[in-house]
Amino acid sequence: TQLSTTPTDPNQCGTQVTGWYSGLMPAVTQTVTNGQVCFSWHSNSCTWSNTISVTNCGSFYVYELSMPPVCAARYCTNTP
C-alpha cells in the first residue's frame, strides 16, 4: 500500500477531507525525503497541507506521518 500521489475525490477514504502525497518519492534505497501532503476540500486540491518523511526501503516505502491539520482529514492510499 502506498499513499495516493494524485488528488483524491471527496468522500473517498471515509472522509470529505482527503490527503494525498504531492512530494517526490526518494529514488535511492535507504534515503529519506521530506514532502508535502495536501488535503483536498471541495474543489481545492490543497486546502491544507503538512510535511511528512518518506524512506525508500528498496521494494517498499515507509512513511512517518504527522497529525492531519483538521479533525476530518485522513490520509488516502492506493493498493497495487
pLDDT in tens, 17-67: 999 999 999 999 999 999 999 999 988 999 999 999 999 999 999 999 999
Instruction: Give the domain ranges of the chain.
Output: 2-78
| DSSP structure string for 20-55 | EE-SPPP-STT-EEEEEEEEEETTEEEEEEEEEEEE
pTM score: 0.90
pLDDT at 1: 79
* 12 or 53, greater pLDDT: 53
pLDDT at 11: 82
